């Protein structure tokens, strides 16, 4: 009996090898949630209902919910029925989900390199950066500090971070956009003050020695710092810092360092998907809406820095003037920054290889 059952098994196993080596199995996309549903009744409108999927990074949930509500309401007035679904997660995983088949109409990711990865895979056309105003940047952002009430360790500048006994919470640059930007900001702060690359390397190495927990994404770090009470300072997105401080009801404070990185979360239409789903018009309208005064006002309200100069000026009180240096301060481009600092065996890996 035993032999015969093996005889049944073997050919089937061979067949399975034949099928299995064929190609990659599609991985399941990140969880999507419907955040804004326009009602289906278009009142005799001219166009069929369109559903867009916006794949974004981790801490933008609140922002997109507001933007989507406003946009779908506007479209409805114009007689168009558009509904928008949102998906959030670490910027890199989100890009990967789209590459693996998540049918995003637009991507609004944290890092230029994640969006450009889609171009490399042929999902987005060359020159995507010029498709929308301000190099496809409806807003910019930066990395700031959150400290405990009363700033007991007196942390004001980047140089203060490596003081004795200070613990820093920031997510892992390998897996998080927030993590990458915090690293680049720390590195650039040394160059800004006239330091050399070597000085920057020493400073950043010391800084990461004082990081007790490397969470995988921005929200994880927020929880570690705000709820678990780990660390003295949290390096995070400006918008996330405001949210965190508001939630903490007086237990936490914001600190704006003298200078920080200019973060550029680009937006792009995923050409291959919108052509297939025939949703290009709606997707482009959606992204163009971000640049309207209404869109820019919502962006400013959530503490992302609007790229429209008038709206930025009108909200100047929310955005203290800190010197925002571009990525070219630390590398020749976002792509170069990715290779130089975060690739396998590059600067970030060396920090840990050196002090294992």
Partner 1 sequence: MFGKRRSPLPGFAPGMAVTVGWLTILLFIPLVALIAKSFSLTASEFLAAAWSDRARAAYVLTFGAAAVAAIVDVAFGLLFAWVLVRYHFPGRQMLDAIIDLPFALPTAVAGLVYSSLYVKNGWFGRFLVPLGIEGAYSRFAIVLVLVFLGLPFVVRTVQPLLSSLEGDTEEAAASLGASRWQTFRRVILPSLMPALYTGFALAFARGLGEYGSIIFVSTNIPFKSEIAPMLIYSRLEDYNYEEATAIAVVLLAGSITTLMCINWLESRNRRYAR
Query: Residue numbers of the site for partner 1 (CB under 8 A)?
Result: 1, 4-5, 7-9, 12-13, 15-17, 19-21, 24-25, 90, 92-93, 96, 117, 172, 174-175, 211-216, 220, 227-230, 342-344, 349, 352-353, 356
Closest by CA to 60, choosing from 26, 94, 37, 9, is 94
23 versus 44: smaller Cβ distance to partner 1: 23
105 versus 215: smaller Cβ distance to partner 1: 215
Shortest approach of partner 1 to residue 229 CB, angstroms? Answer: 5
- Are the beta carbons of 161 and 207 closer than 8 angstroms? yes
Shortest approach of partner 1 to residue 356 CB, angstroms? Answer: 4
- Are the beta carbons of 277 and 283 closer than 8 angstroms? no
- Are the beta carbons of 125 and 271 closer than 8 angstroms? yes
Instruction: Give the span between the Cα atoms of 346 and 116, in whole angstroms.
Output: 20
Task: Tell me the Ramachandran region of residue 214: left when phi exceeds 0, alpha when psi lies from -120 to 50, beta otherwise.
Answer: beta
Buried b (16+ CB within 10 A) or exposed e, 199-216: ebbebbbebbebbebbbb
44 versus 152: smaller Cβ distance to partner 1: 152
Shortest approach of partner 1 to residue 75 CB, angstroms? Answer: 35
Shortest approach of partner 1 to residue 97 CB, angstroms? Answer: 11
- 232 φ, ψ (degrees, to nearest 5): -105, -25
210 versus 279: smaller Cβ distance to partner 1: 210
16 versus 332: smaller Cβ distance to partner 1: 16
State the residue for tokens 């927990």.
213
198 versus 344: smaller Cβ distance to partner 1: 344
Shortest approach of partner 1 to residue 332 CB, angstroms? Answer: 20
**Side-by-side strand order, sheet with 168-169:** 168-169, 233-237, 143-148, 252-255
Shortest approach of partner 1 to residue 336 CB, angstroms? Answer: 15
């Amino acid at each position: 009996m035993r032999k015969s059952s093996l005889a049944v098994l073997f050919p089937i196993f061979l067949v399975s090898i034949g099928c299995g080596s064929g190609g990659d199995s599609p991985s399941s996309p990140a969880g999507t949630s419907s955040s804004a549903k326009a009602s289906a009744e278009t009142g005799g409108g001219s166009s069929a209902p369109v559903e867009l999927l916006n794949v974004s990074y981790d801490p933008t949930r609140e922002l997109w919910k507001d933007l989507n509500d406003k946009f779908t309401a506007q479209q409805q007035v114009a007689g168009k029925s558009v509904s928008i679904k949102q998906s959030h997660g670490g910027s890199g995983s989100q890009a990967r989900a789209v590459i693996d088949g998540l049918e995003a109409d637009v991507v609004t990711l944290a890092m230029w390199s994640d969006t450009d990865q889609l171009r490399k895979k042929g999902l987005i056309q060359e020159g995507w950066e010029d498709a929308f105003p301000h190099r496809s940047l409806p807003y910019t952002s930066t990395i700031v500090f959150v400290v405990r009430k009363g700033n007991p360790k007196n942390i004001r500048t980047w140089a203060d971070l490596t003081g004795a006994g200070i613990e820093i919470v920031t997510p892992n640059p390998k897996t998080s956009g927030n993590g990458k930007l915090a690293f680049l900001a720390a590195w650039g702060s040394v160059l800004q003050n006239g330091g050399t690359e070597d000085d920057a390397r020493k400073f950043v190495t010391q800084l990461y020695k004082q990081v007790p927990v490397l969470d995988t994404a921005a929200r994880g770090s927020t929880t570690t710092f705000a709820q678990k009470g780990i660390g003295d300072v949290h390096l995070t997105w400006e918008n996330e810092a405001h949210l965190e401080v508001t939630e903490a009801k007086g237990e936490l404070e914001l600190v704006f360092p003298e200078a920080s990185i200019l973060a550029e979360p680009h937006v792009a239409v995923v050409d291959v998907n919108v052509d297939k789903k025939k949703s290009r018009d709606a997707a482009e309208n959606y992204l163009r809406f971000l640049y309207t005064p209404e869109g820019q006002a919502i962006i400013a309200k959530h503490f992302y820095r609007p790229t429209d100069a008038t709206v930025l000026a009108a909200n100047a009180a929310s955005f203290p003037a800190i010197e925002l240096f571009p990525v070219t301060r630390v590398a020749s481009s976002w792509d170069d920054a990715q290779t130089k600092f975060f690739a396998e065996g590059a600067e970030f890996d060396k920090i840990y290889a050196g002090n294992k």
